[in-house]
Structure 1
Amino acid sequence: MTQWIVHYANACGQLDGWIERIGEGIAEARYRAEQVLPAIDLDVVVQVWPGCVVKEMGFVGYAPTGTMIQLTFDPDNENLSRNIGEPLERMVAHELHHVMRWRGPGYGTTLGEALVSEGLAGHFCRQLYDSPPELWEAEVSGKDLATCAEKAQLHWHDSRYHHGAWFSGQGDLPRWAGYRLGYALVGRYLDGHAGESAASLVHVPAERFLAYLGT
């Protein structure tokens, strides 16, 4: 029998009042995911790191390996309370898809691989929750998105790309450009391949999606 072990880093009591709701969100995301993906053993580390979250959400997720998810919260963030339900569940599902991809081709070392990994994880949330794109998956559009797509086409195989510039706005690209591009290209692929899903594509190489990068 598989298990998820949730580790609450709460020696100082910063998560007091939040643990039950966080646990419920993790459990619900796990339940939904296991309807379409194999059950796995997983460590989930829950921690507090003020200021180191997506400010619009009050939390952030990270999947550094195929065995662990890190969930970081800022209890003082004014947006946390309203996002602790389904938005939190979707974040857990997003990171779980990354975990599963680590167990196949990996998250990736090139820009193209990162775009596909993020796009698949975003559409996995849509698959489980029938949800619209997240804020970071819909923020960039129009001419800005087209310009970013042209740049991504040139740097698709680049293993020295600046991840922060593409995904966090740490440069001259729009904030979250990489998330939007990834979500869009995977969406175009899925539109043309009925019967496939983010779950069924979890281990598919990124090259399959390159032709769908154009806006």
Structure 2
Amino acid sequence: MGWALHVANASGQLTPHEGAIRAAIARGQALGEARLPEVALDVVVQHWPGQVIGALGFVGYCPTGDMIQLTFDAANENLPRNLGEPLVRTVLHELHHVHRWRGPGYGTTLGAALLSEGLAGHFTRECCSTPPEPWEDAHAPEVLRAEADRVRAGWLQRYDHAEWFFGARDLPAWFGYTLGYRIVGQHIAATGIPASQLVHLRPEDVTLNEEDFA
């Protein structure tokens, strides 16, 4: 068991930040493994200008149950101030995805994806006692309610990730992150079960109600 850290930094662009990056990853691992089983995991750190969340200077991605990718833009002026807790939270978010991949999977249906993102967000909150990220609280209840019928109809159907999460079509950007966070929050409040113990939660086990869109 253990995490193997792979830093792709031949250019040296990340050298000024490498210590802070390593420290945040180690902190995320410690917090996460206090609540989830230890796993063998590859963590890939890479520099890719322009391919990050602008407000953070980095982005996380979990493509499988064996890997987390952390991408940084050394030229982004927001990067240095976000290499502490914001990066720790990203590591925790992706770690929950790792465990989802090892269980039911991230999911190919709208409901599964909303649960995966909402659970990862609430796991981060569980570990860090922090408020939702901006994308997890981006839309007012009336915006969510306007799509309630559409969400119910598509809950167990295949979906377009870019449409629901990135605003690629008629839905606003971050809609899926906000709704997923809201749905999982309601489930946790109703059951008393934390996100760390809901890794295997499936959309078939969740019945949507009006409070999920409030």
Q: Could you say which TM-score interval applies, normalised by the shorter chain?
A: over 0.9
Unaligned runs of 5+ in 1: none
Distance 1:188 1:162 in 2: 24
Distance 2:181 2:147 in 1: 13
The Cα RMSD (Å) is 1.1
Aligned counterpart in structure 2 of residue 207 of structure 1, from 200, 204, 209: 204
Matches within 5 A, 1:3-42: 3-42=2-41
Of residues 185-194 and 150-159 in structure 1, the stretch that sits farther from structure 2 once superposed is 150-159
Aligned counterpart in structure 2 of residue 173 of structure 1, from 167, 171, 191: 171
Of residues 32-41 and 202-211 in structure 1, the stretch that sits farther from structure 2 once superposed is 202-211
Percent pairwise identity? 51
Superposition TM-score, scaled by structure 1 size: 0.95
Give deviations 1:145-201, integer Å, cap 9, x for gaps.
212333211211221x2101111121211110000000000000111112x110100
Check the 8 A contact 1:149/1:181 in 2, yes or no: no
Q: Does 1:89 align with 2:114?
A: no
1:210 shift after superposition = 3.5
1:114 shift after superposition = 0.2
Distance 2:113 2:126 in 1: 20
Give deviations 1:9-61, integer Å, cap 9, x for gaps.
11111111011100000000100111111111100000111111111111111
Residue of structure 2 in register with 1:151 after alignment? 150
Distance 2:43 2:97 in 1: 13
SS at match of 2:16: coil
Letter in 2 for 1:209: V
1:142 shift after superposition = 2.9
Superposition TM-score, scaled by structure 2 size: 0.95
1:214 shift after superposition = 3.7
Residue of structure 1 in register with 2:109 after alignment? 110
Of residues 26-35 and 200-209 in structure 1, the stretch that sits farther from structure 2 once superposed is 200-209
Distance 1:180 1:40 in 2: 28
Distance 1:148 1:14 in 2: 43
Check the 8 A contact 1:61/1:92 in 2, yes or no: yes
Check the 8 A contact 1:186/1:209 in 2, yes or no: no
Distance 1:98 1:67 in 2: 10
